[in-house]
Amino acid sequence: MHVASAAELDAVIELIGEPLAAPGGSGARVFKCRLVGTDADLAVKMLPLSARPDKVETLAAEVKLCEALNHPSIVRFVHTSTATSISGAA
């Protein structure tokens, strides 16, 4: 998995507004984002830095499942990375 710096993520992802939903059981929040320089909207799921290791493992398992899904009615999984922060995602 690529570990992106906050500067790398800020260069490609623009947060649009508040989280789309309240944090789930893992504490993860989903944000609507835009790929900088395009009209492509993305959903970005973020775990807090304080997340317990078991929550990180659960999200990693979710990523594996999402990577395998391919259906026109399901949002397509694109990428995973790790960063310490993204501007605006406090």
**Model confidence pLDDT, tens digit, residues 5-30:** 555 555 566 666 666 666 777 778 88
pLDDT of 40 > 60? The answer is yes
Expressed in percent and rounded to 5, the helix, strand and coil fractions of the chain are 25, 20, 50
**Model confidence pLDDT, tens digit, residues 47-84:** 887 888 898 888 888 888 888 888 888 877 777 776 66
Name the burial class of residue 9, with classes exposed (0-12), middle (13-18) and buried (19+) by CB atoms within 10 angstroms of its CB.
buried
pTM of the model: 0.62
